[in-house]
């Protein structure tokens, strides 16, 4: 899951990014509205945490612009979670009317931010609340635990994030490029074989080779593992 | 009875018809009196009409009264006066009744706008000051009253709105550092594998946020105090104020590697609150040190009954369209990043309020790229508007 955090306060942006990375998200940062819009046009973010009070281009304008545009590669619209220090009802109504999916008032708990992010991403059709289950695989995003046939798996954060992305799309063939843009952040080098390497290490930790290679396309998580 | 007389409409009606009645009564009475006096003093007929009638053989005549004209006249007069009296009294009574009715209607018409003003004023609550009376009609006293009322409401509306915006802005400014503190505490406390280094980073970030909140609350308090009119009035030298400010910020200037020069000048004695004026100078100097490339210059002097102090920096300067708004509370340039060096956003607002509390003003002269000069003008003997010149340049020219 790829997340863009747009916040002009450097200290706050860093803290949010660290918190979300810990949850297994690939997080990019933007500190101004125009920068956020450029990144949102280039990368298919699953979630955008958007501060309302931004230099150059306000959060509401960014939100409206994102909602009015086609996504780069026909990807679904990102979920938008607005972050703001303005707690008035009018502000909240305006934010939601601009196309935000949810609203969080500063100061907030990082735990609540993470929970709302999970809830919003669930609404993408990624299954109901609680752990994800595909065959014998089980993954709980909130507790950050994964298991196969009841036996806990020791996964690195990147492997965990990758498995989670596979488990939200069981049976679908996913290209390396899609995995790279959704599971890795903008600092990943697309010329390295980082996706292939991580898929390989993940495969090694899973019994029965549930992730199969689809010739000419990429990888697929078998539903009957 | 009392509540009945408590209505202006009733009192106006009574006054109107009472005065009318009195005037009419005096008029009628004087007419009556004059008429009756003139009739009595100047009888038309002086004598009786006499006819000489031949007596017996006609050798002599004898006077015989045919008509006693005077008695006749008197009778006629008495009847006329009686009639006049009756008609006058009847007329007066009718006039009184009619005047009551007319007075009631007129008073009602005159007072109708007041009823409108009252009902609108009653409906307007402190939270809903957007309503106006908007009285229609000719430009008369009542229309002017209603218009005055409307403009007062407009001013109140503006004042309340700016107060609300200020509170919203202040809470917004406080929430951001709070969010930073909370997020970093969450991070540091929930991570089992937190290293000593990551904890130290979180602590440094939290300290920065707390410093920012402390500065902001200080400035908010300063603004609130300035609203109170209890500023001390003593002779203060602006030159000494500038030197105090420079000393207070010498450490900050050293850290940033900025040199602060002070030019000599006349003492510039004004009457005011020394601590408050020093705060204004400190705020200007603090900004200048944060924005300067290498050098800040202080100057002070006197001009045309005004004393001035000036703080110039060689920083990025201020675009002309922003020269007014920089004095607004919590103002931020649209293209700006976060405030440089983490100012509270209240510094210049405080400076302006201090200058105005001393019946002076603050001006800024700047060319983008060539630094900015802030000037505080304070009256010594003068009144009205401060000279519209950059005194640091004026001194150089002279």
pLDDT, tens only, A186-214: 887 777 788 888 999 999 998 888 888 88
Write out the residue limits of the CATH 1.10.10.10 domain(s) in chain A: 132-221
Closest CA to B332 of A99, A163, A53: A53
A40-64 pLDDT, tens digit each:
888 888 899 998 888 778 888 899 9
Q: What is the ipTM of this complex?
A: 0.73
Round to whole Å and give the CA distance between B198 and B301.
52
CB count within 10 Å of CB B95 equals 18
Bridge partner residues of B64 (DSSP): B51
Residue-range domains of chain B with CATH: 2-123 (no CATH), 232-397 (3.30.565.10)
Stretch among A163-172, B88-97, B330-339 having the lowest mean pLDDT: B330-339
pTM score: 0.63
Residue B26 reports pLDDT greater than 90: yes
Round to whole Å and give the CA distance between A219 and A204.
15
Residue B80 reports pLDDT greater than 90: no
B332 vs A: CB within 8 A: yes
Mean pLDDT of B139-149: 86
pLDDT tens track, chain A, 225 positions? 889 999 988 889 999 998 898 888 889 999 988 899 999 888 888 899 998 888 778 888 899 998 888 776 666 788 999 988 877 788 788 888 888 899 898 888 888 999 999 888 876 555 556 788 888 888 888 788 888 888 898 888 888 889 988 888 888 888 888 888 888 888 877 777 888 889 999 999 988 888 888 888 889 998 876
* Architecture of the domain defined by A132-221: Orthogonal Bundle (1.10)
CB contact under 8 A, A15 and B184: yes
Q: State residue B338's pLDDT score.
A: 45
Longest dimension (CA), chain B: 170
CB contact under 8 A, A19 and B178: no
Q: Torsion-angle region of residue A37: left (phi > 0), alpha (psi -120 to 50) or beta?
A: alpha
Round to whole Å and give the CA distance between A39 and A73.
14
Cβ atoms of A80 and A39 within 8 Å: the answer is no
Q: State residue B23's pLDDT score.
A: 93
Sign of torsion over alpha carbons B182, B185, B190, B193 = positive
Round to whole Å and give the CA distance between A184 and B379.
65
A49 vs B: CB within 8 A: no
Q: How far, rounded to the nearest angstrom, does the alpha carbon of residue A209 sit from its chain's CA centroid?
A: 25
Bond into A107 cis (ω within 30): yes
Cβ contacts of A115 on chain B, cutoff 8 Å: none
Round to whole Å and give the CA distance between B312 and B258.
12
CB < 8 Å from A in window 162-181 of B: 168, 171-173, 175-176, 178-181
3-state SS string for A43-66: CCCCEEEEECCCCCCCHHHHHHHH
Pairing verdict, β A47-51 and A26-30: unpaired
Nearest residue on chain B to A18, alpha-carbon basis: B187
Write out the residue limits of the CATH 3.40.50.2300 domain(s) in chain A: 2-122
CB contact under 8 A, B187 and A53: no
pLDDT tier at B341, thresholds 50, 70, 90 = low
Q: State residue B188's pLDDT score.
A: 85
Domain A2-122 fold:
Rossmann fold (3.40.50)
Q: State residue B206's pLDDT score.
A: 92
How many angstroms separate the CA of residue A32 from the nearest CA in chain B? 8
Q: Apex CA A65: angle with CA A60 and CA A71, to 5°? A: 135
Residue B170 reports pLDDT greater than 90: no
Sign of torsion over alpha carbons B232, B236, B239, B244 = negative
Helix axes A89-97, A59-68, angle to 10 degrees: 30
Residue B349 reports pLDDT greater than 50: yes
CB contact under 8 A, B183 and A55: no
B210 vs A: CB within 8 A: no
B209 vs A: CB within 8 A: yes
Count of positions (residues) in chain B = 398
């Amino acid at each position: 899951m790829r997340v863009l955090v747009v916040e002009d306060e450097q200290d706050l942006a860093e803290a949010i990014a660290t918190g979300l990375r810990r949850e297994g998200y690939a997080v990019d940062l933007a500190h101004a509205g125009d920068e956020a819009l450029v990144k949102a046009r280039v990368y298919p973010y699953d979630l955008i945490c958007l501060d309302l009070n931004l230099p150059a281009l306000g959060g509401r304008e960014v939100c409206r612009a994102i909602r009015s545009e086609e996504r780069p590669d026909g990807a679904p619209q990102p979920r938008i979670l607005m972050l703001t220090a303005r707690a008035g009802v009018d502000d909240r109504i305006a934010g939601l009317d601009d196309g935000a999916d949810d609203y969080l008032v500063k100061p907030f708990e990082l735990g609540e931010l993470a929970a709302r992010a999970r809830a919003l991403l669930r609404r993408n059709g990624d299954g109901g609340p609680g752990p994800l289950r595909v065959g014998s695989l089980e993954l709980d995003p909130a507790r950050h635990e994964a298991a196969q046939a009841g036996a806990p798996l020791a996964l690195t954060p990147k492997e965990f994030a990758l498995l989670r992305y596979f488990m939200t799309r069981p049976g679908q063939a996913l290209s390396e490029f899609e995995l790279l843009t959704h599971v890795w952040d903008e600092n990943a080098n697309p010329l390295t074989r980082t996706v292939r390497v991580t898929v390989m290490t993940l495969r090694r930790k899973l019994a029965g080779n549930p992730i199969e290679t689809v010739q000419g396309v990429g990888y697929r998580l078998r539903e009957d593992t | 009875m009392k509540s009945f007389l408590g209505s202006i409409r009733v009192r106006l009606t009574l006054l109107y018809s009472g005065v009318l009645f009195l005037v009419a009564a005096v008029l009628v009475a004087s007419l009556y009196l004059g008429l009756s006096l003139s009739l009595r003093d100047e009888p038309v007929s002086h004598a009786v009409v006499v006819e000489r009638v031949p007596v017996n053989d006609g050798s002599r005549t004898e006077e015989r009264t045919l008509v006693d004209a005077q008695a006749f006249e008197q009778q006629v007069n008495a009847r006329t006066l009686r009639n006049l009296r009756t008609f006058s009294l009847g007329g007066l009574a009718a006039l009184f009744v009619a005047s009551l009715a007319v007075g009631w209607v007129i008073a009602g018409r005159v007072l109708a706008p007041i009823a409108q003003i009252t009902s609108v004023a009653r409906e307007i609550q402190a939270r809903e000051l957007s309503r106006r009376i908007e009285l229609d009609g000719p430009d008369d006293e009542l229309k002017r009253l209603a218009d005055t009322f409307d403009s007062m409401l407009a001013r109140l509306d503006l004042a309340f709105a700016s107060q609300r915006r200020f509170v919203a802005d202040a809470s917004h400014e406080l929430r951001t550092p709070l969010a930073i503190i909370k997020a970093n505490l969450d991070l540091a406390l929930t991570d089992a594998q937190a290293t000593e280094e990551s904890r130290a980073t979180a602590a440094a970030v939290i300290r920065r946020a707390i410093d920012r909140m402390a500065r902001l609350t200080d400035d908010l308090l300063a603004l609130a105090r300035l609203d109170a009119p209890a500023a001390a009035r003593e002779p203060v030298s602006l030159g000494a104020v500038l030197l105090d400010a420079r000393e207070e910020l010498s450490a900050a200037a050293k850290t940033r590697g900025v040199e602060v020069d002070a030019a000599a000048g006349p003492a510039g004695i004004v009457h005011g609150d020394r601590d408050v004026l020093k705060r204004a100078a400190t705020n200007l100097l603090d900004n200048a040190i944060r924005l300067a490339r290498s050098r800040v210059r202080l100057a002070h002097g006197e001009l045309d009954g005004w004393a001035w102090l000036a703080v110039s920096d060689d920083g990025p300067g201020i675009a002309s369209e922003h020269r007014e708004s920089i004095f607004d509370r919590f103002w931020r340039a649209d293209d700006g990043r976060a405030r440089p060096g983490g100012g509270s956003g209240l510094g210049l607002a405080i400076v302006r309020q201090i200058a105005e509390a001393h019946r002076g003003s603050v001006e800024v002269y700047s060319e983008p790229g060539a630094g900015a000069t802030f000037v505080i003008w304070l009256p010594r003997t003068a009144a009205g508007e401060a000279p519209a010149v950059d005194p640091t340049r004026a001194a150089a020219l002279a």
